[in-house]
Amino acid sequence: MPRRQSSSLLFFIAFLALLVAIHLPYLKLPYFWDEMGQFAPASLDLYHDGAWVPHSTLPNVHPPGVMAYMALVWRIFGYSILSARLAMLVMAALGVWLAFLLAIRLARGTVGAPAFAAVLFLIATPIFYTQSMLIMLDLPAMTFTILALLLFLDARYVACAAVCTVLVLVKETAITTPAVFAAWLFFREKRRGEALYFAAPAVALGIWLMVLRHATGHWLGNEEFGRYNVTEALDPFHIVAAFGMRAWYLFIGDGHWIGAVALYIGWRVLRGKEWRLAALVAVAQLVLVTVLGGAALDRYLLPILPILYAAVATAASAYPASWRWASHTALIGFLVVGWFWNPPYPYPYEDNLAMMDFVGLQRDAARFLETEPAGTRIASAWPFYVAIQNPEFGYVDRPLIGIEAPGLRLADLAKVDRRSYDLLVVYRKFAPVEGTFLDIAPLRGFLSSNYHPQATADEIRDGLGLVPVMRWERREQWIEVFSQGR
């Protein structure tokens, strides 16, 4: 093996070993939220039944690329949550390695080992840490986006178009990347024949949409998904708010303001057509996942982060050496603190280790409920009532009877027929807005549409006549079991 290939392989192995090591406590973590709601059951449908359009969960527009990857892993190694976690960490390690190669390429001629800094930023990012082991689409989309960009920069257009085809079958919004490549070749390079190679990803995505339309009657899989992620998302106020949240995450939150300062000071270093192309890929993806999508989740920005961090590390080469290393160290420190520190505003638990608290509490409650007599009916809101129904999700060893409650507000719980359940489980589903600095008139209506005030234990006891049985707490989160009191 040539020396360059051998050292490159060693870097990949080192990145994989590091990722596995820092995730060791969580390799058997039960499935979380969207994993359990979409991607794990869809993967299991493909694994068990060969069903490309899922039937045990509501289908939507997301293509089956990641689900096919998981089904293949389980076909080879057998089904387990451990194999799922390790498979995603392999994908994450590949993404880190490719991000390293991209940073090396983009930062040629600069000082300060920017490629190593860029990789450390990525690994230390809280959202990367959590997403790198979950069955989700955004981290694999990051990996294939960077691979496609590297191939395009090498003028390997056929291979790049093939990777882009895989990419859009991983995440539909990634269609922006082959679109940028096609436009670059067509308008800038005047290589119009080769630009046509990048029609292949659009054709592949179109075929998937036709399959979905044939199976479900909807181009996006179901009407509710289309309404939430397209129709409602195009509200002007939502778009403005979403761009504000994107700007906060990319240039302020989790210590990113340190990177923004470096970009402001050293932006002149980011010159040349390779930087312009990388920026176009990042901006196109940013715009699409901000304009479309009801929830402006930070994980949608994962394909952008390797480009952003390469730019930050390269721009910092304008600093004196002592400033550069101080800046890098401070940014990495802020990012690692973000694993544990919860912001004082509503945030998705998946953004940091709050996710582990949430899953751990739900697993504790599920294990307690397994000791109840067979046939006990347990009412709760999403995702708990689903978690206890299927042992493959990792919460229970035997199926329990879960009854759906429409939400955790007192009015939602009151809608559930008291005769339909024996126990009620409530928990902190979201970080509350009430009582925070965001609890002001201009923002209250917008935020309350996503973060509803939940019923308190006193309201459940006094309003529904239920009796507290058991409660668990972890840091800011809690989960509690109530009985009918008879």
What CATH number does the domain containing 381 carry? 3.40.50
Domain hosting 457: range is 351-483
In a domain, 136, yes or no: yes
Q: Check whether residue 332 and residue 358 sit in a common domain.
A: no
Q: Check whether residue 209 and residue 288 sit in a common domain.
A: yes
Q: How many CA atoms lie within 13 A of 214 on its CB side?
A: 8
Let me know how many helices (H) and strands (E) the chain has, helices first: 23, 5
Q: Which of 300, 318, 341 is the last residue of a domain?
A: 341
Task: Check residue 224 and give its pLDDT.
Answer: 87
Mean pLDDT of the chain, nearest integer: 93
**Residue 437 scores a pLDDT above 80:** no
Task: Check residue 1 and give its pLDDT.
Answer: 40
Q: Check whether residue 315 and residue 252 sit in a common domain.
A: yes
In a domain, 54, yes or no: no
The continuous run of DSSP H or E covering 167 comes out as helix 157-168
Whether this model's pTM surpasses 0.85: yes
Neighbour count for residue 247 (Cβ, 10 Å): 15
Q: pLDDT (tens digit, 9 = 90+) per residue, 358-368? A: 999 999 999 99
Q: Is the peptide bond before 383 cis (omega within 30 degrees of 0)?
A: yes
Q: Check whether residue 326 and residue 470 sit in a common domain.
A: no
Q: pLDDT (tens digit, 9 = 90+) per residue, 182-215? A: 999 999 999 999 999 999 999 999 999 999 999 9
Domain count across the chain: 2
In a domain, 39, yes or no: no
Q: Check whether residue 300 and residue 219 sit in a common domain.
A: yes
In a domain, 24, yes or no: no
Task: Check residue 431 and give its pLDDT.
Answer: 75
CA atoms of 386 and 224, how far apart (whole Å): 19
Q: Are 31 and 394 in contact (CB under 8 A)?
A: yes
Task: Check residue 105 and give its pLDDT.
Answer: 95
Q: Check whether residue 294 and residue 361 sit in a common domain.
A: no
pLDDT band at 43 (very low <50, low <70, confident <90, very high): very high
Task: Check residue 439 and give its pLDDT.
Answer: 59
Task: Check residue 9 and give its pLDDT.
Answer: 86
In a domain, 7, yes or no: no
Q: Check whether residue 364 and residue 336 sit in a common domain.
A: no
CB-based burial, 200-218: b 16+ in 10 Å, e otherwise: bbbebbeebbeebeeebeb
In a domain, 443, yes or no: yes
Q: Are 112 and 321 in contact (CB under 8 A)?
A: yes
Q: Which of 284, 312, 341 is the last residue of a domain?
A: 341
Q: Check whether residue 212 and residue 356 sit in a common domain.
A: no
Helix extents (H) in 169-235: 176-183, 192-195, 200-216, 223-226
Q: What is the mean pLDDT of residues 423-431?
A: 91
Q: Which of 308, 341, 374 is the last residue of a domain?
A: 341
CA atoms of 169 and 175, how far apart (whole Å): 9
Share of the chain above pLDDT 90, in %: 82
Q: Check whether residue 193 and residue 300 sit in a common domain.
A: yes
Q: Check whether residue 158 and residue 275 sit in a common domain.
A: yes
Q: Check whether residue 205 and residue 114 sit in a common domain.
A: yes
In a domain, 426, yes or no: yes
CA atoms of 191 and 301, how far apart (whole Å): 30
Q: Are 184 and 277 in contact (CB under 8 A)?
A: yes
In a domain, 32, yes or no: no
Q: Check whether residue 319 and residue 413 sit in a common domain.
A: no
